[in-house]
Amino acid sequence: MDGRGDNGVAAMLDIGPATAFRTRMSPAADERLSGALSMLVESLGTLAASLNLSRQELRSIIGFLTEVGEACSDQRQEWVLLADTLGLSTTVERLSVRRPSGATPNTVPGPFYRPDAPKRVDGDTISIDGKGEALTICLTVNDLDGLPVPEAVVEVWQANSEGLYENQEPDLQPEYNLRGQFRTGTSGQLTIRSVRPVGYAIPADGPVGRLLGRLGIRLDRPAHIHFRISAPGFQRLTTHVFDRADPALAHDPLFAVHSALVTDFIPGPDRTWTTAFRFVLARARPGEEVV
């Protein structure tokens, strides 16, 4: 065939994959999907060309992605860990939840949240086994005008003094240890008794942990306490509060640390600690999804 009288097929054979991929998709294809795949094919081509990617390197990449899939089970989601540690989860969280200036930043909930934590009242402890250094958390829930938010449901969950959540070691910790669900009163304030958490490392024994290890990226997360706060008329807030004294603050592998989410744990007598934190909720616009 000399390229004449073939309805342009010969010319189409010499274009690059990105253009070819785009032109081959059906005009009836889902617009969002076709747009995303066009960008993906183009970006992959640009990346490979920029790196002058070799065949052996491509095989290594495919091998790594195969290992990520094989590491997944009912108990483990290595793909989520990959998305988290490449910053994709935090980026999507920030795109999905845009908070006005002054409102407490949202973060990813992490993998250890349980929606069914036991209901507690102001002043209760969430430490069922009593192990660890006592920590008193004094929190306030305000709106953007500084007014108290009453009737806010405050869910809290954290790791213990060894950096482990109760659902990571169900044979060693009582169920629902270090979890609770509280409700603010008219003052918007609550006191929660707990134990001081310590940080923990993300899994090092899978392909994602090994990859980060090869890059010299630290896997330890700074000590933190998770909160989810829901109140009628407000956007739901899911966030962490971090211990300012933890040196891992500067290299959280999940990119969740924000300067507005750091607090001081103040020492008291007999290795007890107190911390205070003010959460600021943003009002939901009429009809707006509150998550």
Q: Pick between residue 149 and residue 159 the one whose CB is nearest to Fe ion.
A: 159
Q: Pick between residue 39 and residue 245 the one whose CB is nearest to Fe ion.
A: 245
Q: Pick between residue 35 and residue 87 the one whose CB is nearest to Fe ion.
A: 87
Per the document, the length of the chain is 291
Measured CA to CA in angstroms, residue 64 lies from 41, 191, 243 at distances of: 19, 47, 34
Under rule CB under 5 A, residue 109 binds Fe ion: no
Q: Pick between residue 230 and residue 239 the one whose CB is nearest to Fe ion.
A: 239
**Measured between alpha carbons, how far is 30 from 66 in angstroms, rounded to an integer?**
28
Count of Cβ atoms closer than 10 Å to residue 87 Cβ: 12
Least gap, CB of 18 to Fe ion (angstroms) = 40
Least gap, CB of 74 to Fe ion (angstroms) = 20
* Site track for Fe ion across 52-91, x = CB under 5 A: ----------------------------------------
Give the residue nearest to Fe ion (CB): 110
Q: Pick between residue 45 and residue 110 the one whose CB is nearest to Fe ion.
A: 110
Lay out the sheet containing 189-195: strands in order across. 189-195, 134-143, 273-281, 266-267
**Measured between alpha carbons, how far is 68 from 94 in angstroms, rounded to an integer?**
25
Count of Cβ atoms closer than 10 Å to residue 121 Cβ: 10
From 104-112, 120-128, 189-197, 229-237, span contacting Fe ion (CB under 5 A): 104-112
Three-state SS for 258? Answer: coil
Q: Pick between residue 110 and residue 148 the one whose CB is nearest to Fe ion.
A: 110
Least gap, CB of 129 to Fe ion (angstroms) = 18
Q: Residue 104: exposed, middle, or buried by beta-carbon count in 10 A (0-12, 13-18, 19+)?
A: buried
From 48-56, 94-102, 103-111, 120-128, span contacting Fe ion (CB under 5 A): 103-111
Instruction: State the pairing for strand pair 273-281/134-143.
Output: parallel
From 21-29, 40-48, 57-65, 102-110, span contacting Fe ion (CB under 5 A): 102-110
From 11-19, 51-59, 100-108, 110-118, span contacting Fe ion (CB under 5 A): 110-118
From 48-56, 62-70, 109-117, 148-156, span contacting Fe ion (CB under 5 A): 109-117
Tokens (6 digits) for 228: 């989810």
Q: Pick between residue 149 and residue 249 the one whose CB is nearest to Fe ion.
A: 249
Under rule CB under 5 A, residue 110 binds Fe ion: yes
Size of the site for Fe ion (CB under 5 A): 1
Residue 93's nearest CA partner among 110, 78, 72, 79 is 110
Count of Cβ atoms closer than 10 Å to residue 261 Cβ: 20
Please give the full DSSP string across 150-163, using - where no structure is assigned: TT-EEEEEE--TTS
Least gap, CB of 273 to Fe ion (angstroms) = 18
**Measured between alpha carbons, how far is 93 from 112 in angstroms, rounded to an integer?**
17
Q: Pick between residue 190 and residue 257 the one whose CB is nearest to Fe ion.
A: 257
Task: Please check whether residue 158 is in contact with residue 196, taking contact to mean a CB–CB distance below 8 angstroms.
Answer: no
Least gap, CB of 178 to Fe ion (angstroms) = 11
Least gap, CB of 112 to Fe ion (angstroms) = 6
Interaction site with Fe ion (CB under 5 A):
110
